[in-house]
Structure 1
Amino acid sequence: MRLHVGCAMWAHASWQGRLLPGPLPPRERLRAYATWCNAVEGNTTFYATPTRATVESWAAQTDPDFRFVVKLPKSITHEHRLTGADELLRSFLEAMEPLGARTHALWVQLPGSFGPSDLGVLAAFLHRLPRSYRYAVEVRHRAFFAEERSERLLERVLASRDAEWVPFDTTTFFAGPPTSDAERDAWAKKPRVPRRSRALTGHPIVRYLGRDATERTVEGWRSWVATVAGWLREGRSPTVFIHTPDNADALTLARRFHDEVRSRVPDLEPLPEPMPNEPQTLF
């Protein structure tokens, strides 16, 4: 039984010297992060496919049980809209190979314009993908949340490939007006869709966006604590990513979420002990 938790990134300026040792060279930051959390969103791959050497460095900095949920490049999902991108996909998969089993799922985040009429394209794309990976799909078109028929059609497409539907829960964030620059920036960028909490597979993935105020973030995730605890009791292995607009405390919040679930499921394996935020010395 295992719950993976993590953040949207493994390096954040405000973490260095406060939560993580700092300053750390780029090739040591993931290693330090992995003592706090046991998973991470691979958002950087959305913007460009990394070199194989870079991915080898990610593998070298993490234990075999650490997990990445790696986003497909936008050149595949947004520019080509899943068609005519076989060579781009091949290059991406070759670059990801060094992660091995650390790749929890390949994450297909689709643009808000990708709607029910595009489901045939999604189905064809998923069925061309290699069977050696799990897949998770995030949609943002409102029809998938507002129309039962569209929701069921999408679930059918995902079930045919044993792919998960990734909810991005922003309901707590949009429950009140923004109160900081970071919240105002996120207000204009984040999707507004209803909360969805139905798992399709044994490996559900949740993205949760809270507020910069810790108490509001924690209050907003209460239903997720109950849902995730229930999934664990059912034998599922969920992954939860905690976001806030500024992400300054996302590391501690991810661990707190894990602790709250573990209080309900005592057999849950604990997270590793965090690396001290100051380098150890001999004297």
Structure 2
Amino acid sequence: MTIRYGMAQWQHPAWVNWLYPGSLSSAERIGCYSTFFSSVEVGSTFYTNVEPAQLLRWFDAVVEDFQFCFKAPQMVTHRLDGRPWVDIQQDWLSFMASLQPLQAKLGPTMLQFPSVSDEQKLDMIFALCDMWALSSPLSVEVRHLAYFDKGDIETRFLAGLAERGVNRVVMDSRPVFSTEAYCDSLVDAQNKKPRVPCHPVATAKHPVVRFIGHPDLLRNEIWLDQWAKKLSQWLQEGLLPFVFVHSSDNIAAPTLAAQLDHKVRCLCPNYQPALILPKSQVQESLW
């Protein structure tokens, strides 16, 4: 029974002198982060071409059991209309080649498609999945509402992923849209995060969850309870989930992840805790 928890980043100013000492340089923090969390979303590969030497430095800095979840380049996922297909394929192959030396520490690589990629792009999405040549898992996140219709389109999408052994990324942004945006972090989150239905369906062995928490921590309880039940079910089915916890400003994201793991532990007596953080004043007030 294993759940891999991670954040959307491995350093944050608010985590200094809590998750890592202030004396550590920014380059050293990923190593300390990896002693608490077993995975991380790496969004930098979506925006830019990260040099192989930098990828290897990250690889060497983390503990042996750590697994990175890199996001595919936007030139692959966000330019399906504006670029020749052969160029998209070449960029995808090049990205896979850059990850080849890291396979021992790779979790599900993420193909994240924008809300403009509707069902007409499904064959292209499947074609990219069919090109995946690494031994590590692959996952797909879609944001167009057609893929959440609980009808023919979603059925075809889920069946296609399952046939290929590709994991669905389940986005849960319900918490940040549960209130009006009364602070800057909520305004930013509601502007940037997709507002899509949460359909927690696993299509392969490593389902990926992206939970976007509300800054009022107690408000997240209802959704954390739901996810604890679903994760417990997946564990009983022999699945190995990846859970990436965000919050609107990410300050309290580690605390939310620890709360979720505690809830799973309460439901599964044989489950060993996957996430034990240094105690903080906020955490102690919530347990």
TM more than 0.5? yes
- Using the TM superposition, name which of 71-80 and 17-26 deviates more: 17-26
Q: CA deviation at 1:59?
A: 1.5
Which runs of at least 4 in structure 1 moved beyond 4 Å after TM superposition? 272-277
Q: Deviations over 1:126-158 (max 9, x none)?
A: 112215231100000001112511101111221
Tell whether the 8 Å contact from 1:32 to 1:275 is kept in structure 2 after alignment: no
Residue 108 (structure 2) aligns with: 105
Deviates more, 1:12-21 or 1:77-86: 77-86
CA distance in 2, matches of 1:173, 1:76: 28
Instruction: Check if 1:86 corresponds to 2:89.
Output: yes
Choose the corresponding residue for 1:212, options 211, 215, 233.
215
Q: Which AA in structure 2 matches 1:62?
A: V
Alignment of 1:40-189 (within 5 A): 40-80=40-80, 83=85, 84-189=87-192
Query: Given that residues 3 and 268 in structure 1 are in contact (C-alpha distance below 8 angstroms), is that contact kept between their aligned partners in structure 2?
Result: no
- Contact (CA 8 Å) 1:119, 1:157: kept in 2 or not? no
TM-superposition CA deviations, 1:46-89 (whole Å, max 9, x none) = 11121111111111122222122211011111124693223322
- Equivalent residues of 1:205, 1:240 under 8 A apart: yes
Question: 5+ residue gaps in structure 1?
Answer: 278-283
Contact 2:39 2:66 in 1 (8 A): yes
CA-CA distance at 1:218 after TM superposition: 3.0
**Shift in alpha-carbon separation, 1:276–1:217, aligned structure 2, 3 A:** closer
Q: Secondary structure of the equivalent of 2:36? A: coil
1:248 CA drift (Å): 0.5
Structure 2 equivalent of residue 12 of structure 1: 12
The structure-2 alpha-carbon separation of the partners of 1:112 and 1:56, relative to structure 1 and needing over 3 Å to count, comes to same
What's 1:239 paired with?
A: 242
What amino acid maps onto 2:240 in structure 1?
S
| Gap change, CA 1:95 and 1:23, over 3 Å in 2 | farther
Q: Is the 8 A contact 1:42 1:68 kept in 2?
A: yes
Rounded Cα–Cα distance in structure 2 between residues aligned with 1:172 and 1:203: 23
- Return the structure number with greater relative CO, CA threshold 8 A, min gap 6: 1
Structure 2 distance, partners of 1:180, 1:272, is: 29
SS at match of 2:249: coil
C-alpha change, 1:187 and 1:68, in structure 2 (3 Å) is same
AA of the residue aligned to 2:156? L
For residues 155 and 279 of structure 2, the distance between their equivalents in structure 1, rounded to whole angstroms, comes to 47
How far apart in 1 are the matches of 2:201 and 2:91? 32
Q: 1:147 to 1:272 in 2, by over 3 A?
A: closer
- State the SS of the aligned residue for 2:15: coil
**Distance in 2, Cα, partners of 1:97 & 1:258:** 31
Q: Structure 1 residues 215-224 or 175-184, which shifts more?
A: 215-224
For the pair 1:194 / 2:197, whether they are aligned, the reply is yes
Q: How far apart in 2 are the matches of 1:24 and 1:152?
A: 48
SS in structure 2 at match of 1:79 = coil
Q: Against the structure 1 CA distance between its residues 74 and 185, is the aligned structure 2 distance closer, same or farther, given a 3 Å change threshold?
A: same
Q: Give the number of equivalent residue pairs.
A: 277
Give the conservation status (yes or no) of the 8 Å contact 1:183–1:245: yes
Letter in 2 for 1:144: Y
Q: Structure 1 residues 28 and 93, CA, compared in 2 at 3 Å: closer, same or farther?
A: same
Q: For 1:9, what is the secondary structure of its paired residue?
A: coil
2:71 and 2:110 in contact (8 A); partners too:
yes
Q: Give 3-state SS (helix, strand or coil) of 2:109's partner.
A: strand
Q: Which amino acid aligns with 1:73?
A: P
Cα distance in 1 for residues equivalent to 2:52 and 2:272: 32
Partner residue, 1:281: none
Structure 1: distance between partners of 2:94 and 2:278: 35
Q: SS in structure 2 opposite 1:59?
A: helix
Offset of residue 272 of structure 1: 6.3
Give the structure with the larger helix fraction.
2
Shift in CA distance, 275/212, structure 1 to aligned 2, threshold 3 Å: closer
Q: Percent identity?
A: 31
> Which residue identity does 1:33 align to in structure 2?
Y
Amino acid at match of 1:21: P
* Cα distance in 2, alignment partners of residues 156 and 234 from structure 1: 19
CA deviations over 1:27-52 (Å, ceiling 9, x no partner) = 21111111221111111111112111
